[in-house]
Amino acid sequence: MIKKGLKDSVWLRQVSSFTSARIIMTANNYRVFDNLEGSWKTAKRLSREIDSDSRATEFLLNSLVAFGLLKKQRNLYRNASVASKYLVKGKSGYQGDILSHQNTLWDNWSGLDTVLKTGMPYRKSHNHESFILGMHNLATLKVKNVLNNINLNGVKRLLDLGGGPGTYSMAFAKKKIGVTLFDYPETLKIAETLIKNAGLTENIRLLPGDFTKDDLGNNYDLIFISQIFHAYGQDECLSMLRKSYSSLNPGGRVVIQEFYLDETRANPVTGAVFAINMLVNTQRGRTYTVKEISSWLKMTGFSKIASRIINDTVLITGIKMKR
């Protein structure tokens, strides 16, 4: 009976989870975790350092202690290990940029009532830098696992289409593959700095452009299209695949990484909710089923189409057969 009661109230807890999200995003906006790294501080001292109200700061810090993100001894606060690992700028697992991006999405999602009426996006805010750096935060956590699931045998030249911050490009380049990172010029500016900091400038060619209009180059053995399709409608995805097909060498492969839905379109939760993110932020984007994406590969001419689920995304591969 108690168990059933708890299960019945899951949706109610989901509704109030916006409060926890808001607390963590505000703490991130004020750089609370950077300031509480490695030393114990009172709320009063921290509020002086981050230019905030000390009473409000104390309330915020106590909630962060309750979430397990901070530790508290008497009236002193410090980062707990999870905050230290993921929320302090400069740490390898840093996720603060994706939190900033979520903060932007908060503004746009606040228009969901309007979106439901009009069917049109409500893109009130956009911060390109936190979007791209946020993609870097997320990819950093999974790049190793993703690459372990891609067959790179014989791949000498690779195109990372819409490669964003270049997280995957850098990982491919470290495997001695000649990488071309194609993206908008404003994105490549951000990627350039990350690639320079990683000492990989010589290993990655930056190709600025709009892949819906511009040429992608050719002679690639593999084209990686990660988290791109969901921002576009079916016709645009098909056109990207046709372009990719003609840019590949015979025997070359396309590898798609995407959020996905099963045939009910209501599972998994990540895919179903992400469809709404695209509804709010794009004209024609959505989450697709594995069957849909696979059928596009087939329509384009790819063979040996295979898919593998890795956590909340799917990797779908197709080969351009030698004739």
Ligand X SMILES: C[S@@+](CC[C@H](N)C(=O)[O-])C[C@H]1O[C@@H](n2cnc3c(N)ncnc32)[C@H](O)[C@@H]1O
Short-list 197, 140, 202, 149, CA closest to 171: 140
Of 78-86, 113-121, 207-215, 271-279: span binding ligand X (CB under 6 A): 207-215
Judged by beta carbon, residue 70 or residue 170, the one nearer ligand X is 170
Q: Tell me: does residue 60 bind ligand X (CB under 6 A).
A: no
**Residue 193 or 212 having the CB closest to ligand X:** 212
Contact 169, 178 (CB under 8 A): no
Q: 30 or 131, CB closer to ligand X?
A: 131
Report the C-alpha gap between 223 and 135 in whole angstroms.
19
Our finding on whether 293 is near ligand X (CB under 6 A) is: no
Retrieve residue 278's tokens.
Answer: 């695209």
Minimum distance from residue 125 beta carbon to ligand X (Å):
16
Q: Does 228 bind ligand X (CB under 6 A)?
A: yes
d(CA 27, CA 317): 41
Rounded CA separation 78/76 (Å): 7
Q: Which is nearer to ligand X, 94 or 211 (CB)?
A: 211
Piece in contact with ligand X (CB under 6 A), picked from 21-29, 119-127, 220-228, 244-252: 220-228
Q: What residues between 152 and 191 interact with ligand X by CB under 6 A?
A: 162-164, 167, 183-184, 187
Report residue 209: phi and psi, to 5°. 165, 180
Site string for ligand X, 8-47 (x = CB under 6 A): ----------------------------------------
Residue 135 or 222: which CB sits closer to ligand X? 135
Give Cβ neighbours of residue 5 (< 8 Å, ≥ 6 apart): none
Contact in structure between 182 and 159 (CB atoms under 8 Å): yes
Task: Please give the DSSP secondary-structure letter assigned to residue 7.
Answer: H
Residues 134-153 that bind ligand X (CB under 6 A): 135, 139
Non-local CB neighbours of 179 within 8 Å, separated by 6+ positions: 158, 159, 160, 169, 172, 173, 203, 204, 205
Rule CB under 6 A: say whether 211 interacts with ligand X. yes
> Would you say 210 or 263 has its CB closer to ligand X?
210
Smallest separation (angstroms) from ligand X to the CB of 288? 14
Q: How many residues bind ligand X, per CB under 6 A?
A: 17
Least gap, CB of 122 to ligand X (angstroms): 19
Sign of CA dihedral 84, 89, 24, 312: negative
Residue choice 47, 227, 277, 294 for contact with ligand X (CB under 6 A): 227
244 is a site residue for ligand X (CB under 6 A): no
Of 180, 182, 174, which Cα lies nearest the Cα of 200?
174
- Using the rule CB under 6 A, which residue among 108, 130, 137, 226 binds ligand X? 226
- Residue from 120, 111, 115, 33 nearest 69 by CA: 33
Burial of 32 (0-12, 13-18, 19+ CB in 10 A): buried
Quick one: 80 or 315, whose CB is closer to ligand X?
315
Contacts with ligand X by CB under 6 A lie at 132, 135, 139, 162-164, 167, 183-184, 187, 210-212, 226-228, 231
